[in-house]
Amino acid sequence: MEAAGKGRAGGGGAEGSKRAKGGSAGTPRKTGAKSGAKGDGSKATSRSPAKKGDKRRDGPPNRGKRPPPRPVARPEDIYIGRNSPFAAQLQRARQLLMSGESRVVLHGLNAAINRCINLALQLHREFGGEMTVATDTVALVDDLPPDDPFALPKTAQRPVSAVHITLVRGQRAA
Domains parsed from the chain with CATH numbers: 64-168 (3.30.110.20)
Distance in angstroms (rounded) separating the CA atoms of residues 118 and 61: 34
pLDDT at 57: 54
Contacts of 99 (CB under 8 A, 6+ apart): none
pTM score, whole prediction: 0.60
Pairing of strands 154-168, 77-80: unpaired
More confident of the two residues 33 and 116: 116
* pLDDT greater than 70 at residue 69: yes
How does pLDDT run across 92-140, given as a tens digit for each residue? 999 999 998 889 999 999 999 999 999 999 999 998 889 999 999 999 9
Of 173 and 156, the structure prediction assigns the larger pLDDT to 156
Amino acid 5: pLDDT: 47
CA nearest neighbour of 139 among 112, 117, 161: 161
What distance in Å separates the CA atoms of residue 38 and residue 49, rounded to the nearest whole number? 14
Predicted pLDDT at 59: 52
pLDDT top residue among 30 and 124: 124
pLDDT at 25: 55
Segment 6-27, tens digit of pLDDT? 544 444 444 444 444 544 555 5
What's the average model confidence in pLDDT over 39-62? 52
What is the rounded average pLDDT for all residues in the chain? 75
